[in-house]
């Protein structure tokens, strides 16, 4: 009898505890929370649509607090709060130990996964390299070359009336091109027969699995037991590392041979070579280990490949979904082509839709008119890409650790040990940031008298802001504009009927089912 009474008392205490907890939450805007598990239940239920789940809350309140079992996440969408975190009190919001532990297996101690002096040194080195005219010219050549390879595949598909997955093709194009720029090697995934590639498959698997770690409290146990997703991750990382270290060893040997034979003109211009060469110039104490080289270059490959491919995929989807935008873009590209041909004093070649050779020659001629400077004149193209990034940012949310207790500009208190996450996906959809047409795709919002106008990086956060603002921003725009200019000048895209377009939950905002389209040529 006493046991039964004790059980009843415990049940009443627990029920009261839960009721009191829920009563205290009644006037708060945010997900439902429960003792011990916090908001984990609602977050797991909404995991596959988490970005839109946050939009719903952040449209009602500029800040949302989401308690989880071992961590409290504070999500922000107000530019003033974002500026405080990314710039004003930058030192208090590092990547943090938690983020580093989740991502270390893939990113190592590369620039996107470290803080403090290690980050500053890499940032200084990378800033110097990204400002290099040699790297810019080399990148321009590479991006043009792979855009033409993609165009050749699309041209063939159009002649055969065959549907293609644009996201897969963009992933192949950006992997090939970023490996060429980063490592100086040909990966070959964009070959006409679209071969299977172990490195690319491992790359994708690793990206998805490390993202799952943020909501999987069992990942450390799975890693210890080497089971499930963590077992797949271990195999994927081995494939990535085997490829990366083999390239590093080969490149060091090539540089040593070129130096020995006094053939400096044979030394390549890719990032890996530049990082190795910096160590040679500054002396033995500055030489980077193979692990450091692996982390530095792989961070840029990861950042430059998926981000660019996903943005191009969403851009093509937005263009084909808005015929008026497609027509304005096509008109700008036609005017540009005619103006550049006049400047170069060349006659435009004939373009016959039914003659594949004629079509390819005209396309190649147009591509030859594109370079770093001339692409800068395509303001509407730049606006289309920027508007795409506003609504579909490649990195939809970016968490930061909290070193010490702090108060955000709106008065919200955040505690040390928690995480503050600014949410570009939500920020682009907030009327308090962009006005009543915030959810509309409208490239014209970026133009004034036909000329592109930037917005505050604390409102348009697709490339982050403050000291960590993206070093590869110009390079990303260069590749995206090169590809989209060629594609939208010579092809029209139509979504395959009933093909679902929705994002997949991972670090980047990729499409869950790809982007299946039919392609039609135009001159």
Q: From the annotation, which residues make up the binding site for heme?
A: 470
Ramachandran region of residue 283, left (φ > 0), alpha (ψ -120 to 50) or beta? left
CA distance 17 to 40: 18
Residues 202, 302: contact at Cβ < 8 Å?
A: no
CA distance 60 to 340: 49
Q: Taking the C-alpha atoms of 478, 330, 154 and 173 in order, what is their torsion angle to the nearest 10 degrees?
A: 10
- DSSP secondary structure letter of residue 261: T
- Let me know: does 330 contact 324? Beta carbons within 8 Å: no
How far is residue 230 from each of residues 100, 235, 274, measured CA to CA in Å?
Answer: 17, 9, 34
Give 498: exposed, middle or buried? Use CB within 10 Å, 0-12, 13-18, 19+: exposed
- DSSP SS3 for 422: strand
In what side-by-side order are the strands of the sheet with 419-422?
63-67, 72-76, 419-422, 398-401
Report the alpha-carbon distance of residue 32 to residue 26 in Å, rounded: 9
**440 within 8 A of 446, measured Cβ to Cβ:** no
Of 224, 223, 241, the residue nearest 232 (C-alpha): 223
d(CA 382, CA 452): 7
Bridge-partner residues for 491, per DSSP?
521
Residues of each annotated binding site = 470
Which among 185, 188, 191, 181 is positioned nearest to 141, based on CA atoms? 181
DSSP 195-259: ---HHHHHHHHHHHHHHHTTT-TTHHHHHHHT-HHHHHHHHHHHHHHHHHHHHHHHHHHHHHHHH
Which tokens go with 388? 């795409």
3-state secondary structure of 416: coil
Distance from C-alpha of 136 to C-alpha of 521, rounded to nearest angstrom: 31
CA angle 139, 173, 289 (to 5 degrees): 60
CB of 112 within 8 A of CB of 299? Answer: yes
**SS3 state of residue 35:** coil
How would you classify the pairing of strands 406-407 and 413-414?
antiparallel
């Amino acid at each position: 009898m006493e046991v039964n009474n004790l059980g009843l008392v415990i049940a009443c205490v627990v029920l009261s505890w839960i009721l009191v907890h829920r009563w205290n939450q009644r006037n708060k805007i945010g997900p439902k929370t429960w003792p011990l598990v916090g908001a984990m239940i609602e977050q797991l239920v909404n995991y596959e649509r988490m970005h839109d789940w946050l939009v719903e809350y952040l449209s009602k309140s500029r800040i949302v607090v989401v308690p989880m079992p071992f961590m409290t996440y504070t999500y922000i969408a107000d530019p003033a709060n974002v500026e405080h975190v990314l710039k004003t009190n930058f030192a208090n919001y590092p990547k943090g130990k938690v983020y580093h532990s989740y991502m270390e297996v893939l990113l190592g101690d590369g620039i996107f996964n470290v803080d403090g002096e290690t980050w500053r040194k890499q940032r200084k080195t990378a800033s110097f390299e990204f400002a290099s005219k040699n790297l810019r010219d080399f990148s321009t050549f590479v991006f043009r070359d792979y855009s033409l390879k993609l165009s050749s595949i699309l041209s063939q598909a159009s002649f055969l009336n065959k549907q293609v997955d644009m996201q897969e093709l963009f992933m192949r194009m950006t992997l090939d091109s970023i490996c060429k720029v980063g490592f100086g090697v040909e990966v070959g995934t964009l070959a006409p027969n679209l071969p299977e590639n172990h490195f690319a498959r491992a790359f994708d698997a690793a990206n998805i699995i490390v993202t799952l770690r943020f909501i999987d409290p069992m990942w450390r146990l799975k890693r210890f037991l080497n089971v499930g997703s963590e077992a797949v991750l271990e195999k994927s990382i081995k494939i990535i590392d085997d490829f990366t270290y083999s390239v590093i060893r080969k490149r060091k040997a090539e540089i040593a041979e070129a130096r020995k034979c006094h053939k400096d003109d044979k030394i390549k211009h890719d990032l890996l070579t530049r990082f190795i060469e910096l160590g040679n110039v500054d002396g033995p104490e500055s030489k980077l280990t193979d692990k450091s080289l692996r982390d530095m270059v792989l961070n840029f490959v990861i950042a430059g490949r998926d981000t660019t491919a996903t943005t191009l995929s969403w851009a093509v989807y937005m263009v084909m979904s808005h015929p008026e935008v497609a027509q304005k873009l096509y008109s700008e590209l036609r005017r540009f082509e005619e103006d550049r041909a006049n400047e170069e004093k060349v006659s435009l070649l004939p373009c016959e839709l039914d003659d594949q050779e004629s079509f390819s020659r005209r396309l190649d001629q147009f591509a030859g008119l594109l370079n770093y400077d001339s692409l800068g004149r395509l303001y509407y193209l730049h606006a289309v890409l920027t508007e795409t990034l506003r609504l579909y940012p490649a990195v939809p949310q970016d968490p930061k650790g909290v070193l010490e207790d702090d108060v955000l500009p709106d008065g919200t208190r955040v505690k040390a040990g928690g995480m503050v996450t600014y949410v570009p996906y939500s920020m682009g959809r907030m009327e308090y940031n962009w006005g009543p047409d915030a959810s509309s795709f409208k490239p014209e919002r970026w133009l004034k008298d036909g000329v592109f106008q930037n917005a505050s990086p604390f409102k348009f956060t697709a490339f982050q802001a403050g000291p960590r603002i993206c070093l590869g921003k110009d390079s990303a725009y260069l590749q995206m504009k090169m590809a989209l200019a060629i594609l939208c000048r010579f092809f029209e895209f139509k979504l395959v009927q009933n093909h679902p377009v929705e994002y997949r939950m991972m670090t980047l905002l990729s499409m869950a089912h790809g982007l299946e389209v039919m392609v039609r040529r135009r001159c």
